[in-house]
Structure formats: C-alpha cells, structure tokens
Amino acid sequence: MTDPVKFLLVDDLEENLLALEALLASEGLDLHKAQSGEEALELMLANEYALALLDVQMPGMDGFELAEFMRANERSRHIPIIFLTAGSGNAVRRFRGYEAGAVDFIQKPIEADVLRSKANVFLDLYLQRQQIIAQRDELASLTVALQAADQQKNRFLAVLAHELRNPLAVFSSGLNILDRGNSGRDLSQVRLSMRQNLNHVTRLVDDLLDINRIERGKILLRKQKVGLDEVLPAALELAEPAIVAANHRLTVETPDDAITLEVDPARFIQIISNIVGNAARYTPEGGDIGVKVSKADGFAIIEISDNGIGIPPGQQAQIFNMFEQSDNGLGVVGEGLGIGLALVKQLVELHGGEIVLQKSLPGEGSTFEVRLPFAD
C-alpha cells in the first residue's frame, strides 16, 4: 500500500481550514493544517508535501513571507505554492506573489471546482514525479547489479582460463614426454598426473553443466532409500585423494543406530565430497578434518569441520553465491571457479534439506552443517 500524498493548508482562521479540508478531502490524500507561518515551517521540516495552499493575509508572517522562507530552504523550495487571497488581484500583488515562488492564485470566495481542478493538477504532477524517481532508482539499482554481474563474469572467465590452462600445460608436457618414449623418467607418474588433471577438468565441466541444469529446472534426482552408512563412506572415499595429498587427519563420528535417507545417492556423494574436498584444500598441510553425524527432529545432521584458513565474517553471507571465492584476510584466496558451494546448496535444497555455515573464523577453520530429512 502506497503512502498518502500530503497537502499543506495554511490559514490563520480555523473555519477557513475546515472549509478547505472539506473541499479537498479524498482517498489517498492527507491534508495537514497550520494556522501560522511558523507552524507551517515546522510541519515542512517533518513532512514532504505535494502542494501548499497559503493564505496571503495572515497576522505575523504573511503568505508572501512564508513563501520566501520556503524558497530559501532546500527541503521546501520544490513545493508548489498556490496563494489564496481575498484582496484585490492587482498586478503588483500578483508580481510579488510570483516573485516569492507562487505557481498560481485563487481568489476568495473560493469556487470548489476551480480549487479541486488546480489541486488535482499538482497531485498528478507529484505522482508522476514520484514514479519517475522510483524508476530512476530502479534503473540505478539495475545498473549497479549489471556492473557487479559483469565484474563477476570477468572474474569467472579469468579463473576458468587459469583452471583450464594448468591441466592443458600438464597434458602438453606429458604428451611430449610420451612421444619421446622412456627417457629415464617414470612414465607411470606422467600418466597419473595427466589422469588427475583430466579428472579435474571433467569435474569442473560436470559442475558447470549441473549448475546450468538446475537453473533451467532440468536436473533429475533419482531418489531412493539408502542407509547413510552406505553412501557416506563412498563420499569420503571420493575426497580421500585431497586429504591424503595434504597429510590431513580425518575423523568420522556416526551414531550407533541406522539412519535411512531418501536421496539420489550420486548427488549425496557429490554434496559431501565437495564440502570435505573444500575443507582439505583450504586447510594447511597436516590439518584436521572432522565429519560428525547426528539426528534431530526428523533430520540427519552432518557436520563437516576443519582447522583451515577460515572465512572472514564480512564474506560469510556470500559464500553460497555463484562464483564467490573467499579471501580470509590473511593473504589466502580461494581457488577454483567458486561454484562448488553454490552447487552444493542447490542440490541440498532439491532434497528438501538445508546447508549452513555454522561457524568460521579466519585462521581457525570452518564448520558446515548439512541437514537432510529422514526417509518416510
């Protein structure tokens, strides 16, 4: 519901104000009354008016003086002024009125149709101006959003080029070595390095395709009832190379009683392995990674914690946004395309679950919590 438009009525006689109010009263119009110039100025400090109707002949500060004060004040100088006068309409008085800032005069006794007609003109002008301001603000917001999206796109393309260039360099070097044959090097290590980089590129492309499918509503979940003890080990196995490569210690805590979920097993493995893999990548060598499973209110709760680089408070609200990467404030910037957690969040929500960053401090690590509903 939009706020009512405000008119200011100024006359030293109460009966004149009541008459004006009766003539102008309509839905969506808020009429404020003042019986002196001083009272009117106070009201203008607290309110925005579409029109001011000022009596010319008032004791103390008359209508002309009030108009001059209004034009001298930044807050009130834009308010259109119509003077109401019972005096003669000679050219000198009119000139003084227009010089003081009037846009029109209405002679007393006031004709109702004339008053309403002129007031409606300024009501319409005010509404049009407000609409233009709203459109301008909306365009400004869209411009800022488009600029941010453009910067984000440029960052994404730069990181994508980096993520592809490194594996391609490994492929190129590996192929050169293989073409020369066994020149004293262990070719099995060359093949392993090429295979690892190929897997990296494949995962990167798969993540991009998954994001695109989710955004188009084309992703298909193949849900089935599975025990957590079946799919969790598979997820941890997928993340194991990153854990082993960095000499991390992994601890896993699960409840004694069985937990059954209704999930797409492949997507569950993707969710958990992605988070654990992130923990491994962003934890200095020889760190600790923990996976703890518990139950509450019909949900399986999977906590994944590390003692890695952590996420600054100012960046925590954006970590699930597409292409966001964390800078922990200690000179360590996240690697990759910044789509992993965005993809994880969307996959978790497609399963009727929730993922939150439970806690994180720069230099002390992070804890993520995934909640997934039990199978019916």
The CATH number given to whatever domain includes residue 85 is: 3.40.50.2300
- Residue 128 maps to a domain: no
Same domain, 195 and 240: no
**Phi, psi (5° rounding) for residue 79?**
-75, 125
Last residue of a domain, one of 84, 110, 136: 110
- Residue 119 maps to a domain: no
Cis status, amide bond into 109, omega within 30 of 0: yes
CATH of the domain at 205: 1.10.287
The distance between the two most distant Cα atoms of the chain, rounded to a whole number of Å, is: 112
- Residue 132 maps to a domain: no
331 pLDDT tier (thresholds 50, 70, 90): very low
The answer on pLDDT for 90 being more than 80 is no
Question: In angstroms, rounded to a whole number, what is the distance separating the alpha carbons of residues 316 and 318?
Answer: 5
Question: In angstroms, rounded to a whole number, what is the distance separating the alpha carbons of residues 130 and 135?
Answer: 9
CATH of the domain at 298: 3.30.565.10
Same domain, 298 and 237: yes
Pairing of strands 81-85, 51-55: parallel
User: What digits encode the pLDDT tens for the residues 285-307?
Assistant: 999 999 999 999 899 999 999 99
Last residue of a domain, one of 178, 198, 215: 215
User: What digits encode the pLDDT tens for the residues 115-154?
Assistant: 999 999 999 999 999 999 999 999 999 999 899 888 877 7
Give the residues across from 5 on adjacent strands: 29
Q: From 189, 262, 193, 184, select the one nearest 221 (Cα to Cα).
A: 262
- Residue 93 maps to a domain: yes
Q: For the chain, how far is it from start to end, CA to CA, in angstroms?
A: 43
Same domain, 366 and 231: yes
Same domain, 92 and 185: no
- Residue 43 maps to a domain: yes
Last residue of a domain, one of 173, 192, 215: 215
Q: What is the number of structural domains in the chain?
A: 3
Same domain, 207 and 230: no
The range of the structural domain enclosing residue 103 comes to 5-110
What is the value of pTM for the model shown? Answer: 0.55
Same domain, 186 and 321: no
In percent, how much of the chain has pLDDT > 70? Answer: 91
- Residue 91 maps to a domain: yes
Same domain, 165 and 262: no
Averaged pLDDT, 309-314: 89
Same domain, 338 and 362: yes
- DSSP annotation of 308: S
Mean pLDDT (the chain, rounded): 86
User: What digits encode the pLDDT tens for the residues 166-205?
Assistant: 788 888 888 888 888 765 667 888 888 888 788 778 877 8
Same domain, 106 and 162: no
The answer on pLDDT for 313 being more than 70 is yes
Same domain, 260 and 324: yes
Three-class DSSP labels, 116-180? HHHHHHHHHHHHHHHHHHHHHHHHHHHHHHHHHHHHHHHHHHHHHHHHHHHHHHHHHHHHHHHHH
Count of helix runs (H) and strand runs (E) in the chain: 9, 12
- Residue 118 maps to a domain: no
> Which helix (DSSP H) or strand (DSSP E) does residue 210 occupy?
helix 187-215
Same domain, 194 and 273: no
Q: Quote the pLDDT of residue 159.
A: 66
Is residue 240 within 8 A of residue 269, CB to CB? The reply is: no
Is residue 169 within 8 A of residue 200, CB to CB? The reply is: no
Question: In angstroms, rounded to a whole number, what is the distance separating the alpha carbons of residues 98 and 148?
Answer: 48
- Residue 131 maps to a domain: no
Same domain, 245 and 353: yes
> Which helix (DSSP H) or strand (DSSP E) does residue 187 occupy?
helix 187-215
